[in-house]
Amino acid sequence: MINLIIYLPLFAALFSLLVHLKIASRARTFGPLCWLYLALCCFMYTDCTLSLPNASVQALTRATFAAQLSAPSIVPFVILYYRRMRNITRQQHPLELMWVIVPVVLFTASGVAYFLSGEEHLVEQQLHAQKYGYSAIAQFSSVPVRLYYMISVVLYRIALTIEALWLAVYIIILAAKEKFRLRNVFRFYFKGDAIKLTGLHTFYLLPAYFLILLRFIFFRDVLFKNTWMAIGYSVLLTFFIVAFAYVALFAQVRTISRKQMRNSWRYNYSNTGKPQVVEQMLDDLLDDAEEDAIKRIQGKLNEDLPIEALRTPLSFVDRSDIAARVFSAVSDSWGENELLVRFQHLMRDEHLFLQPRLSLDDVADKLGTNKFYVSKLVNNAYNLGFPEVINILRVDYAEQYILNHRGAKQDEIARQCGFLSASSFITIFKRVTGVTPKVWMAAKDHSE
């Protein structure tokens, strides 16, 4: 029974891998996640083998080499997965090549020391290592055997400790950027609020990684000498592995709620394939819906989402080039421009730019991506930064507001058009148009 309990986290990791191979093959996080689970499965197998009291010396040696190839790859794959989930597509950081460099160096060095020592001499090393832990090095008289022990045990654990610290720093920085708080998890589970995927992933990742590192604190078989301790450890680790894998099914979206998590299989899409998947989702829902439900939905659409109004350009005149492109009725085509269409929809139809403190993070949350991608999207589409585009839209809107509200004061115009104050409104208006609002109005009256 104890052997089955020890292998329980391995079964969880293998099951998670098979699930993602089946239903998440089109997600942008598919590659890093599969490699992560392959490394995790390999590491779990070797860790279980090293924990068995009746394992042969040959099995222990094979497990040692396999662990050196798999364990150092876990942290880099986790970070690569986080980057892909946050839609960071710029060139990888050199440190991320650790998933190649560290395992290869450890494996090669251990292999050289292994052949120099000879298999017959390593039997004594394995027995001493299991019995005495880190103090076993004092029992070795052969220099190659000592070298093999230093590489396969001491240097291996030092490398994993460094990677653990690296992951901890990365998570701390990421939590600060994403404004992750534990109370967000509480509100997610008990109040149904939406939560950022990065925060929910972190909530399950850190305990799982802590439990894995706990095995390295005890070199000898401490955790599994007590049956109940082994059960508790394996069940906890299995739970966090499965929970992390389940959350990973939603990696295409930036935020998620408990209600949305019920439809995990529906989020298997890429950025370019999302429209077709969403359309299929609507078709499926319509097929399953009763006639009364369809009528209620139709009434809600007519009330809250007037389709024809969304397709019709607003009747503003004398627009700047940028404003005209944003406010124009872009075609409903899918593909590479789908994110730009959604951005223009937010500005044209929802008037998101009227929010006084609108930031890149706010727009990214609406679009389900990250602020770096939004910034790049705006720069490529308009050759301007995000603040400049928002200011142009606000000034364009202010011009129409002035024409329709001739007696409005400047503080009212500023408030209605998304500016923080009348002074900032005048400054930005002059920067965009070249004249103050009063001069612009006087020129309009003269031309009329």
Higher pLDDT pick, 426 / 46: 426
Q: What is the pLDDT of residue 334?
A: 41
**Phi, then psi, of 196 in degrees rounded to 5:** -70, 140
Mean model confidence pLDDT for the chain? 76
Say yes or no to pLDDT of 422 above 70: yes
Residue 75 binned pLDDT confidence (cut-offs 50, 70, 90): confident
Structure tokens at 306: 């007037």
Lowest mean pLDDT among 100-104, 137-141, 421-425: 137-141
pLDDT at residue 125 in the model: 61
Per residue in 211-223, pLDDT (tens digit) is 877 766 554 455 5
Written as six digits, the tokens of 374 are 């939004």
- Cα–Cα distance, 311 to 348 (Å, whole number): 10
Asked whether the beta carbons of 209 and 252 are under 8 A apart, the reply is: no
Q: Give the pLDDT of residue 315.
A: 33
From first CA to last CA, the distance across the chain in angstroms is 91
In terms of pLDDT, which residue wins out, 181 or 47? 181
How many CA atoms lie less than 13 Å away from 431 in the CB half-sphere? 13
| Residue 182, pLDDT above cutoff 60 | yes
Whole-number pLDDT of residue 316: 35
pLDDT level of residue 417 (50, 70, 90 thresholds): very high
Other CB atoms within 10 Å distance of the CB of residue 303? 8
Residue 46 scores a pLDDT above 70: yes
In this prediction, residue 303 carries a pLDDT of 52
Residue 51: pLDDT band by 50, 70, 90 thresholds?
A: low
pLDDT value at residue 317: 37
- DSSP structure class, residue 86: T
Return d(Cα 331, Cα 344) in angstroms, integer.
11
Q: What is the 3-state secondary structure (H, E, C) of 206-233?
A: HHHHHHHHHHHHCCCCCCCCCHHHHHHH
Give the mean model confidence (pLDDT) for residues 324-337. 53
In 249-370, alpha helices (H): 258-261, 274-288, 291-304, 307-311, 321-327, 338-348, 360-367
> Is the pLDDT confidence value at 331 over 50?
no
Q: Does the pLDDT value for residue 112 go beyond 60?
A: yes
| Average pLDDT score over residue span 270-290 | 62
293-305 pLDDT per residue, tens = 666 766 665 554 4
Check whether 198 has a pLDDT greater than 80.
Answer: yes
Structure tokens at 439: 């001069």
Span 342-371, mean pLDDT?
86
Amino acid type, 288: D
pLDDT of residue 132: 54
Q: How confident is the model over 322-348, as a mean pLDDT? A: 67
Residue of higher predicted confidence among 377 and 225: 377
Question: Over pLDDT 70: what percentage of the chain?
Answer: 69
Overall average pLDDT of the 226-248 stretch: 82
Contact assessment for residue 10 and residue 44, using Cβ atoms and an 8 Å cutoff? yes
